Chain A
Amino acid sequence: MVLKNMKLAFVFMFLLFGTVNAFAADEGGATARQVVEKFQSDLIAVMKDGKKLGYAGRYEKLKDPVSNSHELTKIARIVVGKEWEKLSEEQQQKLADVFSRLSIASYAHNFKDYSGESFVFDSEEETTRGGVVVHSHFVVPDDKPVKFDYMLKEKGNSWRIINIIANGVSDLALKRSEYTTILQREGFDALITKINEKIDNYSKQ
């Protein structure tokens, strides 16, 4: 009896899932909007458990959602601009690696608890270069909402976030200015040291 019920439930869930999928795109590849919304709901879920999880717990829980929705290696390449070519393969690998950890760490640090926040989808538009921008905003109770625009690029049969623009400030542009400046003024090792310092600071609270 129980088994039968479960089976029914499964069938029901499957149907439900099927209809959702039909609305979206062909199976397998998620649309840009789906990628963003999946990531946002994962983030909110971690925020809800944020206090209990602690920094380390949040980091672990966010690791996959962040790496699966963001194209971190490509972002790391863009933020160092033309300096990327001057780096050895080993350095490139190291940068991509440290950069990924920084991205996850900053999410784990900045979204540490929950007080009724939510993400709301606004609209979606295609850019001239074949990307998609998903416009949304982050609702904070008793405060001004924060506009979040996600820029996505197609990778294989899915979409990946490549830039986030919060209230008009582009994360990619900001990081790019910082990273190229540091590379030019102080060199590669200093950049890696500084990123590691940031990750360290994030983990301390």
Chain B
Amino acid sequence: MPMNRLHNGNRSVKMKQTFSGLLIGAAIALSGCATTGVVEQPTVANKADPYENFNRKMFGFNDRVDNYVAEPISNAYKWITPQFMQTGVFNFFNNLKNVNVVINDVLQAKFSQSAEDTGRFAINSTVGLGGLFDVAKHVGLEQNEEDFDQTLAVWGVPQGSYLVLPLLGPSTSRGIPGAIFDTAANPASYIGMPVQLVSMLNTRASAEGALKFIDEAALDPYVFTRESFLQWRNNLATDGKAEATDVDGLDDEAPEGDKGAASGHGSSDDAGNKAGFALSMDADTKDLVQARYSFSSVAQSFDNTAKSFEDAGAKVDKLKKSKSRR
């Protein structure tokens, strides 16, 4: 069980070291790829993205992998696979994901939703022929989106920094332990490799529209992806309740007010200091430093996650009570 592993202090330290080792290796390999020698402009650090230089390189790397590998393969897949099969494959994996959804419903004390989602899973697994057909949608049971990252958010684990992972794409410090639990809980993870590959292909194929939209609309694809990812995750974690306050923060005279300044200079906090420190170094070491910091932030997130699991029972009870009071 991954939970037990995290309780073990020694293991987590070891994990931390292995991870930073891996990452520094990756960073060296990447800086090797991008030897243009361009001196990067110092940028104002976004509060949520203290490792921007490193993330941008990773983003560029992923983008290239997508252009030269993932996209051609996905196009070939789309060309040989009829649409109804693509939908079927999507439905099949989506249905298995409902196991996660139900678990996370319970962990977030959303009991009636968990009953609905269980029903959804049952209907699609039986009448929907093992999930190939989304029958439940037509009975009015919509797909809910819940995952461990959202559960951790509900439990009060901070989101942490924005991170772009090699091949996997956008995430946050909290998203990494979240994704590990999700993978462990998803039955699809235990099926063999060819099936996994089909799942990956299909995911890339169905993301086509979104990727095209980013391509068309984004002036700076990196920032566009980062902002929409963070906002979307936040919206999911709060079940859409965050928006009213967020809007208010932005609406008014940015030039006169101090709102703009507040979001521009996050240097008073820890993240800003680190970024400021990192900026003063030359480009290559800077990335290594960023990589190291980004991994210590992930490690911290693991610690937080482990801690929050220790009193998971108490948390669900508390959530349950606060819900029934409402």
Q: Which residues of A contact B (CB under 8 A)?
A: 77-78, 81-82, 84-85, 106, 109, 125, 127-129, 131, 133, 144, 147, 149, 151, 153, 162-163, 165, 167-170, 172-174, 176-182, 184-186, 191, 194-195, 198, 201-202
Contact = CB atoms under 8 A, between A and B. Distances in A.
A168 B250 contact: no
B254 A173 contact: no
5 contacts: A85-B255, A129-B248, A133-B244, A170-B243, A173-B250
Given A85-B255, A129-B252, A174-B228, A163 B247 contact: yes
B39 interface: no
Main secondary structure on chain B at its contact with chain A?
A: helix
A199 B47 CA distance: 31
Contacts of A185: 41, 43
9 nearest interchain CB pairs? A168-B235, A82-B260, A81-B260, A169-B231, A177-B227, A174-B227, A194-B219, A84-B255, A178-B223
Nearest to A173: B250
B219 A191 contact: yes
B246 interface: yes
Interface string B250-268: 1111110000110110000
A41 to B, nearest CB: 24
A58 B28 CA distance: 50
Q: Which of A78, A172, A182, A198 has the most B CB atoms < 10 Å from its CB?
A: A78
Given A184-B43, A185-B41, A151 B255 contact: no
Contact of A151 (B232, B242, B251): B251
B320 interface: no
B266 to A, nearest CB: 13
Nearest to B142: A144
Given A82-B254, A168-B243, A181-B43, A201 B216 contact: yes
B220 interface: yes
B219 A162 contact: no
Given A125-B244, A170-B243, 17 more contacts: A77-B255, A81-B263, A82-B260, A82-B261, A84-B255, A144-B142, A151-B247, A162-B251, A163-B247, A167-B235, A169-B231, A170-B250, A174-B228, A179-B219, A181-B223, A186-B41, A194-B219
A47 B264 CA distance: 39
Contacts of A191: 219
Contact of A163 (B217, B227, B235, B251): B251
B277 interface: no
B240 interface: yes
Nearest to A151: B247
Contacts of A167: 232, 235
A195 B255 CA distance: 21
Nearest to B216: A201
Q: Which of B142, B232, B248, B254 has the most A CB atoms < 10 Å from its CB?
A: B254
A81 B240 contact: no
Q: Which of A147, A178, A202 has the most B CB atoms < 10 Å from its CB?
A: A178
Contact of B250 (A147, A172, A195, A198): A172
